Amino acid sequence: MSSFLQSFLDPKKNWLAAQHMKTISKRLRHYGLRYDDLYDGYYELDVKEALNRLPREIVDARNQRLKRAMDLSMKHEYLPENLQAMQTPFRSYLQDMLTLVKKERAEREALGALPLYQRTIP
């Protein structure tokens, strides 16, 4: 069942998945975002930890892209066509660190250690 689901979601094997990926890519290019920019550190603590482990330059570039996207959205505008052509929406910068953080969290849980971070309500 899982191999069927993976082949169904793979853009190389399924036309609908390819169309979905094309649409997402077009929308991300309009605002100059990357797919990894959509992950929210407030929603998932693993993402927050992965962002803390990334180099400062990468996090600053991410924040700049998010600010530019919010500014364009408020103005009801898109990036100019020449800048949209330069965008790489599916070039990942967060996935490797995120998988490492999730693997470390799973290992800590398997060993019975205390969680590395917990959500607290002020």
Nearest of 24, 85, 90 to residue 16 by alpha carbon: 24
* Domain, as residue range, for 49: 3-90
Determine, yes or no, domain membership for 9: yes
Concatenating the DSSP letter of every residue in 26-71 gives: HHHHHHT--GGGG--TTT-HHHHHHHHHS-HHHHHHHHHHHHHHHH
Determine, yes or no, domain membership for 110: no
pLDDT in tens, 3-56: 776 776 777 778 888 898 999 999 999 999 999 999 998 888 899 999 999 999
Residue 21: its H or E element: helix 15-31
Where is pLDDT greater, at 43 or 114? 43
Q: Give the per-residue pLDDT at 113.
A: 78
Question: What CATH number does the domain containing 80 carry?
Answer: 1.10.1090.10
pLDDT in tens, 62-110: 999 999 999 999 999 999 999 999 999 999 999 999 999 999 999 988 8
Tokens standing for residue 119: 């959500």
Determine, yes or no, domain membership for 116: no
Count of domains forming the chain: 1
Q: Are 108 and 116 in contact (CB under 8 A)?
A: yes
Residue 120 has pLDDT above 70, yes or no: no
Question: What pTM was computed for the model?
Answer: 0.82
